[in-house]
Amino acid sequence: MVPSLTRLDRLGYPYYFLFTLNDYPAELEPHLPLLVERINTFLEISGQVGPHRIIWRYDPIVLSTITTASYHQIRFERLCRAMSGHTARVIVSALDFYRKTARRLEQLRDRGIIFERTSAKEIETARLLLQLSEIAASYRIELQSCAEEPELAINGVKPGACIDPSLIDYLASLRRSHSQVEATLTRASEYKKDNGQRAQCLCVESKDIGAFDTCLHGCRYCYATNSDSVARRRFATHDPSSPTLWTPS
């Protein structure tokens, strides 16, 4: 995407990035580029589009025998230090144990890795999210939760929207004349919640151009890949000149 950003800007498209950046062991994220490479990519994009147009996702938060609460505190703080000044927001959420996700994680039991089935509303996880929020704030990064229980807001963790109408309208307004700005910024209330998402999701209606079983990263917590072998076959037939990511034959 990076080489195409100047073209998108020239054509007048308002856009922003959601960039997932965790620091998990290879057992959970086996085929990702090195962490330093991913951080450098993040910083490169931020340098080109600005810190308000790239949102960091530290997501999902996986609690296990090798990724404990203290593990997250230490790794998250290091990432905040690297991200400071390069993003204004980080979005977090607790792991959802979808059937396919649970099956993939269960395969690691033979390696002695046990996963905690906790939700964000449970005391230990809620405490961790608050601690992460305080760490982020110390680096001038606002932490928001994704599709979590509203009780978290009472405990200091603000609910957020990945497809955020206020941010979309703000970015669009920057490209319009001053006479249009006020009208643009009042449009956020006109957007409808995306009813295809979970009850606590605050995202507005949007079109997802992704496709299941197309990613080769093999992250164990992923809900978008059901079969690694299917993903490899689909990846092999990907046509970079096609208007779609993958088309059934």
Mean pLDDT of the chain: 87
Q: Which pLDDT does position 155 carry in this prediction?
A: 67
The residue extents of the domains of the chain are: 1-160, 164-204, 207-249
Q: Decide if 55 contacts 18 (C-beta within 8 A).
A: yes
Q: Is the dihedral of CA 180, 168, 121, 200 positive or negative?
A: positive
3-class DSSP state for residue 93? strand
- At 62-98, the pLDDT tens digits run 999 999 999 999 999 999 999 999 999 999 998 988 8
d(CA 27, CA 109) in angstroms, rounded, equals 11
Residue 181 has pLDDT above 50, yes or no: no
- Reported in sequence order, the residue ranges of 62-128 that DSSP labels E, i.e. its strands, are 89-94
Query: Mean pLDDT across the stretch 131-144?
Result: 96
Residue 163 has pLDDT above 80, yes or no: yes
**pTM beyond 0.85, yes or no:** yes
Q: Give the rounded distance of the alpha carbon of 80 from its chain centre.
A: 15
Q: Decide if 227 contacts 212 (C-beta within 8 A).
A: no
Give percent of the chain above pLDDT 90.
52
